[in-house]
Amino acid sequence: LLFIKVNNKWKSNLKRVLKSVGLTLPQFIVLTSLLFLINREEYVTQVDIARFTGMDVMTVSQIVRLLEKKDYIRRDQHPKDSRAKLVSVTKSGAEKVNLAFPLVEGIDEKFFEKLSNDRESFNRMLAALEDKNA
């Protein structure tokens, strides 16, 4: 219960700052994950985003459609798979992330500052939990 309580408090802080720039937390996660994947992969699809984030494919699909309507991302035909769509970030989407990212980092710094020297250890433990429960 303690982990859930702390996680909810952290998410609440994130949602508050993201709302100020017109994004929800899931939209921010999809946009930042897409930018990360684009730097690593030649082609990025909605399925790739879902796998990377651990989100449901249908949820990612809904978020992608909404972000496309806002002109933050674009979907194009995959050159090698006619069933798939490539997803990319538009200029306005990148600008939105550039606006939101420092706010999120600020929340993280303030929220986790009490860990000070233990932060690296905490991150390693979270990574171990993610790997073990993947």
Residues 30-62: tens digit of each pLDDT: 999 999 999 998 899 999 999 999 999 999 999
CATH class of 2-132: mainly alpha
Residues 60-106: tens digit of each pLDDT: 999 999 999 999 999 999 888 888 889 999 999 999 999 999 999 99
The pTM of this model reads 0.88
* Domain segments of the chain as ranges: 2-132
Beta bridge partners of 76: 86
Q: What are phi and psi of 75, to 5 degrees?
A: -120, 130
